[in-house]
Each structure stands twice: as structure tokens, then as C-alpha cells.
Structure 1
């Protein structure tokens, strides 16, 4: 899909799950992006946040569905992608100027040893791996991307993205930092616009080493 030059967005809250006083609550915000010329819906973005200090506020809307874990077997494909030491500084050009990603003192005050990579950058790296394995690098075939952010990534770390065919048109995935044995994205589901074939799964598994070698020479967007 070609994104129009002019668009507009709408933001709302469709669910609050109160976990109890002292236990925080979950809030799900929904953003819809429209083409300003004809009001056509382009995309829907749902974001669930844990508000640690707001337990006891009361619930609103429907209960959020539980996240679905990745299959309990070895992945059908793996891809390793190295981030660059200046990756967060490059990603700031997207418009997210939170100093947590650039200022060592701000990162230290937040309890981190160094500035962390933007979560959406890690998310994009996982999307890149899925596009390469299941979509022949055609972004039009990726209709949805869902996951849970479970740990931060530090610029310069190498990410391992593992992928499973969990349904005919769904790829399950997770991402980790092998050097720290830490999962950074989990419960991932990618909705595709076509059915992943058995040949694609077998080919993806066979080509995982080639993908790993290729990734070493690439820098993610």
C-alpha cells in the first residue's frame, strides 16, 4: 500500500484492566490513520501499556485477550541481525527524541547502564526478518505485526529473530540478544496477506545460515 502524502490520525482508549491497588493497570490505546483526501482507513495501531502506579483506578472496556506464546518446538527459520552502536541516534531521525535513547545520564537515572535502543526499532528489525523469510521482501504482504516488548536492547547488540509458521497465513516470532541470553520481543504474531507454503518453511530453514551471513553486512532501517 502506498501511504498518501496527507493523512490524519485519531487516538482513543478502548480498554483499561485494573490489576488492583499497588499492582498497576493495563491500558490499551488505539490509533487509526486515515487518508485525508477520502477518509479511507490506512492502518490501525493498538498499544498496550503497563501503568505501574495506577492500580485501583477501575477497569473499562473489554478484558484484553491473553498473548499467544510461540510454538513449543524449534523454529522454522532464524535470522541474526547486528545493530550499530549509533543505531539509536539514527532512529531518532524518525521523530522520537526521547533522551533515554541518546543521553547517558538520563539512561543512568532510569537505571540503565547506557542509552537503550527504541523499542520500535527492535520491532522494525523483527519485521525485516519476517519480510525476508516469508514475504520475499514485499511489505505489501505483511498485514499485521503483534508482539510484547519484554526487555531493552542496547545499540550495537546482535539480535536473533526466530520464526515459526503457526498457521497458514500467520508467522509466530520472537527476538533475543544471545550474548545476554535475554528475550527482548516475545509472543510475536505476523499476519500475512497470503498463505505461507510448506516450500517456504523448508526453504526458510535451509537458508537461515545464508540469512545470518547476509544480515552481518546490512544495517536495519
Structure 2
């Protein structure tokens, strides 16, 4: 059945309860490489890996309390989607205040936009979390669905971001562990594509690939440490497009350009001649 855009966009918001503890934050930080490349007890790493004075990397909100699966994008009325045709196209988070290391919140989700790209459809699922003190964060998850375009909807504006034609102000190579995907999946993304070699081959890869959101968090940690003095609470927004695959055991090259009002970020694979991993990435901060 083709997409019924009017029905999908008119669907009422859904709400669900979220809860997370210190150990969930610690596990997530380990899953994006915290503590792996300095001495484990380095004070700069203990901010991510020890409950004393623990800070929360903002990308944790993509897995908090069950993660983006709680948004329920694929069960909306008007959407009859073959999950084999689904790709995670992009991600944006906005922090309204620092995320506490432990907490409870209510997540409200709705389909914010639905674009017709001709041969594909793009869904933008918006999830807003709030606790007793007010709004915490907003996530926009961009879902690319092959073969579901042509329903007559708006095409949407381009969100491409071209890096400046100059040497980046910051650059770091981040080695990613061979078992990184196995560790990251414990935060809630159990897709066998990231663990099972046979499943990966069926999907067209010669071995399991890293979660896109793991690369997303790994790059964010590198930027926080390089540019923001290791203070994750300074992040206001962080957006990216998932531009290519990344394999555990490779090295992620993170480049950052200072554009005064924001940072432009790219992430590539060192071993595969700077093959794109994350593109169109922008971070704003205080």
C-alpha cells in the first residue's frame, strides 16, 4: 500500500515513559569508546566512566530509556513500510538543559515531516522528552525508505553542509575497537547486522558494520574533548547525515571547522582513503 501522507501526518502524538540510571550512561560511554585510548583512570576520561562527577554525553539521548525505538515510527497509520528498505538517514538532537546521569522523563513523539524524494520517502520523527522540571531534549530522526516515493508530497529542502575550503582547526584520529559494536549494542540496538557475520553477508557486507549512532557518539565525544574542553554540557545542538558505513577496528578521522556561530564536522574512515562516514554535521554550543 502506498504511503498515505495525510493520515500519517495527522496521527496524534504518542507518549511513553523513559527511565535511566548511572549504569546506563556509563555503558553508553564505554560503547562510544570512552576510556579506551588514554589511561583508564585519566581524570578527563573518568568524567565519562566513573559515577563520581559523571557528565552525560548528549548523544546518550538516542538510547536513553530504550532509545529511538520508543518513537514508534513504523506503526503509524498511513505507513505500510517494508523494514528491509529502511535506512537511518540522519539525526539531530537539541538539548534544552544538561541531561542528568539518572532520571525519568515522558517522551512525546510524532511524525514531524514526510518528504517525497521520487524514488524514496523520507520520514522525520520528532521525539521530545520532559521531566518534572520541564523540557530536556528534542530528537529529530530522519528515516530514508527506498521505493516509497511518488506519493505526491513535498520534496523538502536540502540540508547539505559543505566544509570550508581550508585546513580544519581541529583534527583527531580515533581508533575504534574491534569489539565496539558488540559493546554498543548492549545499550539497546540489537540489530544482528552489527554482530552476526552471516547476517551481514545477507545484507551485502563482508562483515558486521558499526552502528551509525555509535559513530555519531564517537565523533561527538572527540569534538567535546578537542573543542569544548571536555565539557559535554556546552552542547546545544548536534546534527548529522549518515553518509557511509564504518567497520569496527577501523580508525575514525574527525575534522572540525570553526565557523564562529557553529562547528562543521566530518568523520571518515582512515583505512578506506577517507571514505565518508558522517557528513553535513553541525554542532552549536555555549
Could you state the TM-score of these two structures normalised by the residue count of structure 2? 0.63
Distance 1:153 1:28 in 2: 24
* Equivalent position to 1:171, from 258, 263, 278: 263
Equivalent residue for 1:25, pick from 113, 117, 121: 121
* Cα displacement string for residues 57-111 of structure 1 (whole angstroms, at most 9, x for unaligned residues): 2326x93452222212221111010000000000011111111111111111100
In the TM superposition, what whole-angstrom CA distance separates every residue of 1:102-147 from its partner, at most 9, and x where no partner exists?
1111111100111111111100111011101221000100111111
The answer as to 2:143 corresponding to 1:54 is no
Q: Does 1:161 align with 2:254?
A: yes
8 Å Cα contact 2:159-2:280 kept in structure 1: no
Among 98, 106, 109, which residue is 1:8 paired with? 106
User: RMSD between aligned alpha carbons?
Assistant: 1.5
In 1, distance between residues paired with 2:157 and 2:225?
A: 31
Alignment deviations for residues 9-34 of structure 1 (CA, whole Å, 9 cap, x no partner): 111111111122xx112211111111
Residue number in structure 2 paired with 1:213: none
Is 2:242–2:277's contact at 8 Å kept on the other side of the alignment?
A: yes
Structure 1 runs (4+) greater than 4 angstroms displaced: none
Contiguous gaps of at least 5 residues in structure 1: 194-221
For structure 2, the 5+ residue unaligned runs are: 1-97
Specify the alignment match of 1:79 in structure 2: 172
Separation in 1, partners of 2:261, 2:226: 13
What is residue 204 of structure 1 aligned with on the other side? none
Cα distance in 2, alignment partners of residues 130 and 64 from structure 1:
27
Partner of 1:121: 214
Q: Distance in 1 between matches of 2:216 and 2:99?
A: 21
State how 1:101-120 maps to structure 2 within 5 Å.
Answer: 101-120=194-213
How many angstroms does 1:169 deviate by? Answer: 3.5
Structure 1 distance, partners of 2:179, 2:117, is 38
Query: How many residues get paired?
Result: 187
Offset, 1:152: 0.9
Q: 1:2 to 1:48 in 2, by over 3 A?
A: closer
